[in-house]
Amino acid sequence: MRIAMISEHASPLSALGGVDAGGQNTHVAELSAALAAQGHEVRVYTRRDDATAAVVVPMKGFEVVHVPAGPPVPLAKDDLLPFMGEFAEWMAADWRTSWLPGVAHAHFWMSGLAAVTAARRCDVPVLQTYHALGTVKRRHQGDADTSPQHRVAYERELGRVVDRIVVQCQDEVSELLRMGLPRAGMALVPSGVNTELFRPDGPAEPRGASRRILTVGRLVERKGYEDLIRALPMVPGAELVVVGGPPEGPIEDHPYARKLLALARHCNVADRVRLAGAVPPAQMPRWYRSADVLAAAPWYEPFGLTPLEAMACGVPVVATAVGGLTDTVVDGVTGDLVTPRDPRALGAALRRLLNDDVRRVGYAAAAADRAAHSYSWRRVAARLAALYAQVTGRTLTEAETPREAVV
Ligand code: UDP
């Protein structure tokens, strides 16, 4: 099948770690590669943000197409809405003249607007993955939320007009129901993890004798790093390693990194907090394997790839019970779930787990098993391909139907 992925701000080619580059980039790249490996023709349409970039760039069996929409320079995703009309026009012309897809799968709401506009002209069915919802962001960030006005209304309208909403976790189902969208229009297919890269065996980043708590993600407030630093005095002797940050420049130049280091000094744990900066995706398994526990303490999290990546590497997780983490982390089996924004609860869970070798080994084995079984990209891609076929009324060929295709 010919599949158009639309990912306006998150290019699969772009470096991870910038303010707007994170899980969506990984998700679109891995999903497209897995679908391509199952015999589908995949193109990812993303906004051109570099005047020197080629229009079409091949990547792992699929193509990345740079759509001219707005100035060819990096822009914050919250500034992209005015260019979505241009994006849709260009894409519709591409579909009409050279590459008509069987289905379009949009990632993030602004991609959805472009996809629906282009698809109407070419009669292509559209699936929508939100990745994040405006209602949730507004609830947690209040006035600090810089999303374009009317985001929530656009998201609701999109949910009504697309052929299917691909939801990633139970919590998202509830949010969408609260927005008034019908359950019948949703299909729950979670994100995945690259189980060939993220696996328990393999090299690990060197470390000292202290217990290592690892946390990974973009250096943004809502990821809960401050709560983890505040929890650290309750976990004597353990070090907290934070992986993530801007891909360029020393980490100390980042204003939020400076704030975290100041907080560590204030809590008398500066000697136990290390900001490792951004790590290339291929190096991430080494860091997970070096950890005794992965801590993920976001205030909210639409899906959350990093706990799943750690689980796939056989690392137990202590996470806040929010969003996708309540689906991926099985409380008391693959990790522990705690109340969000509660450093005491985090500290208690981390101390208990680090002091209990038997529990940690049990969690680790169950975590690796769960990640490999339920969240491999091969399985996720197969389930989505079956859904695309359902929406388009097309039958997949035998080569396109791996055994995992059970929706
Ligand atoms: N990541 C990375 N290098 C870093 C920090 C993060 O490759 O230095 C990757 C990480 O492995 C994961 C993604 O970035 O695949 C973050 O995804 P997640 O869903 O946890 O958070 P998001 O950024 O989407 O909020």
pLDDT at 118: 98
Distance 123 CA to ligand 1 centre (A): 35
pLDDT confidence of 21, banded at 50, 70, 90?
A: low
Place of tokens 């990345």: 64
**Nearest-5° Cα angle at 308, 302 to 313:** 165
**Alpha carbon separation from 377 to 186, 193, 198, 252, 396 (Å, rounded):** 20, 6, 12, 35, 18
Residue 407: pLDDT band (50, 70, 90) is very low
Q: Which atom of ligand 1 is nearest to the CA of 245?
A: 8
Contacts of 388 (CB under 8 A, 6+ apart): 1, 3, 102, 103, 105, 127, 394
Q: Is the pLDDT of residue 101 over 80?
A: yes
Q: What is the mean pLDDT of residues 229-242?
A: 98
3 state SS of 23: helix
Lowest mean pLDDT among 24-33, 206-215, 245-254: 245-254
In ligand 1, the atom with minimum distance to the C-alpha of 218 is 23
As a whole number, mean pLDDT of residues 218-224 equals 93
For the segment(s) 211-374, the CATH number from 1.10.238.10, 3.40.50.2000, 1.10.3720.10, 3.40.50.261 is 3.40.50.2000
Q: Which residue has the higher pLDDT, 403 or 113?
A: 113
What's the CA-to-centroid distance between 172 and ligand 1, angstroms?
A: 20
SS3 75: coil
Per the CB < 8 A criterion, the answer to whether 138 and 29 are in contact is: no
Ligand 1 pocket test, candidate residues 141, 215, 284, most atoms within 8 A of CB: 284
Question: What values do phi and psi take at 65, rounded to 5?
Answer: -110, 125
- pLDDT bin (cut points 50, 70, 90) of residue 406 is very low
Taking the centre of ligand 1 as the mean of its atom positions, its distance from the CA of residue 137, in whole angstroms, is 18
How far away, in angstroms, is 250 Cα from ligand 1 center? 19
Give how far Cα 10 sits from Cα of 6, 44, 76, 368, Å.
Answer: 9, 10, 11, 28
Q: Which residues contact 279 (CB under 8 A, 6 or more apart)?
A: 243, 244, 287
pLDDT at 5 over 70: yes
- Cα atoms in the Cβ-side hemisphere of radius 13 Å centred on 83: 20
pLDDT tens string 349-392 = 999 999 999 999 999 999 999 999 999 999 999 999 999 999 99
Matching fold, domains 2-192+376-406 and 211-374: yes
Distance separating alpha carbons of residues 195 and 199, to the nearest angstrom: 6
Rounded CA separation 268/107 (Å): 42
Atom of ligand 1 nearest to the CA of 27: 15
- What pLDDT score was predicted for residue 395? 80
Supply the pLDDT for residue 18. Answer: 54
Instruction: Note the pLDDT tens digit of each residue in 29-81.
Output: 999 999 999 999 999 999 999 999 999 999 999 999 999 999 999 999 999 99
Q: Which atom of ligand 1 is nearest to the CA of 309?
A: 11
Task: Please tell me the distance from the alpha carbon of residue 263 to that of residue 287, in angstroms, as a whole number.
Answer: 24
Residue 22, pLDDT > 80, answer no
Ligand 1 atom with the shortest distance to the CA of 296: 20
Q: How many CB atoms lie within 10 A of CB 393?
A: 7
Tell me how far apart the alpha carbons of residues 375 and 355 are, in angstroms, rounded to a whole number.
Answer: 29
Residue whose CA lies nearest to ligand 1 atom number 10: 306
State in words which class domain 2-192+376-406 has.
Answer: alpha beta
β-pair type (62-67, 56-59) = antiparallel
How do the domains of the chain map onto residue ranges? 2-192+376-406, 211-374
State the pLDDT confidence band at 249, using cuts at 50, 70 and 90: confident
User: Cα(130)–Cα(24) distance, rounded to whole angstroms?
Assistant: 10
Cα of 56 from ligand 1 centre, angstroms: 25
Nearest-atom number in ligand 1 for the CA of 279 is 8
pLDDT at 19 over 80: no
- State the distance from the centre of ligand 1 to the C-alpha of 31, rounded, in angstroms: 15
Q: Are 30 and 377 in contact (CB under 8 A)?
A: yes
The answer to whether the Cα torsion of 103, 109, 111, 112 is positive or negative is positive
Ligand 1 cavity residues, CB under 6 Å:
16-17, 22-24, 26, 216-218, 243-244, 278-279, 281, 284, 303-306, 309
